[in-house]
Amino acid sequence: MSLRGIYGGTFDPIHLGHLRTAWEVAVTIDMPVHMVLARTPPHRDQPSAGPEHRWAMLNLALEGQQRLHPDDRELRRQGRSYMIDTVDSFSEQYGGVPCLILGQDAATGLDRWHRWRELLDRVHLVIMTRPGGHDLPVAPELGDLLNEREVAGPAQLRRSEGPALWRCQVSALEISATAIRLQLLQGSLPRYQVPGKVLNYIRKHALYRAESRI
């Protein structure tokens, strides 16, 4: 069965940690990956940069390649960005079971997501792990469900009839959007952490400075 990945985030800003890991998952599983920009994430602080800036930066970052696709369906929807609505919209558009790609930190908190049990029945999960990384503690009900669904590799994921989970090892890149915003706020340049075009965009629009909360 053909697979399609959903890699959601506030991308505030998009950085090489997001891009490298998304690319590795896309290549390893051999599937297109949609980088879905969250407008108003329900589970965390609201983004610093406005959605139009984050969308522009995402597009700049993804220029010139075929595997990763900028996806604005959450921007086009009114109200809060719930993943279950995004997943339903993918299934409607493309058919099949989408693969929800998450970092381990995000996977640990899945049981706080809106209608999480239903969500997990409608997706395959791809949890990105890092070499030498440790399993983070999860609540027992979520932990049991994840263990039951785990498969050994991308081939099994592709063949799975029901929702499955595969842990995909990706490179560890200690880059974080929070640290990038802090560097910009303090007047230093986060070189080699975001694509050059994104850094130019941030400078041109004076994003993430104290006076530019948009």
Q: Which residue ranges make up the site for ligand ATP (CB under 6 A)?
A: 9-12, 17-18, 21, 102-103, 105-106, 128, 173, 175-178
Tokens of 84: 């279950």
CB closer to ligand ATP out of 1 and 182:
182
Nearest alpha-carbon partner for 78 in 40, 30, 51, 131: 40
Give the nearer residue to ligand ATP in terms of CB position, either 95 or 169.
Answer: 169
Identify whether the C-beta of residue 64 lies closer than 8 Å to the C-beta of residue 17. Answer: no
Question: Smallest gap, in angstroms, from Cβ of residue 116 to ligand ATP?
Answer: 15
**Which position's Cβ is nearest ligand ATP?**
103
Return the CA Rg of the chain: 17
Q: Are strands 33-37 and 68-71 parallel, antiparallel or unpaired?
A: parallel
Of 10 and 86, CB closest to ligand ATP: 10
Task: Map residue 138 onto helix, strand or coil.
Answer: coil
Of 120 and 175, the one with the shorter C-beta distance to ligand ATP is 175
Question: Least separation, in Å, of the C-beta of 42 and ligand ATP?
Answer: 12
Q: Which is nearer to ligand ATP, 42 or 95 (CB)?
A: 42
Shortest Å distance, C-beta 144 to ligand ATP: 22
- CA–CA distances in Å: residue 60 to residues 14, 80, 93, 202: 10, 25, 25, 11
User: Smallest distance, Å, CB 161 to ligand ATP?
Assistant: 26
d(CA 127, CA 146): 10
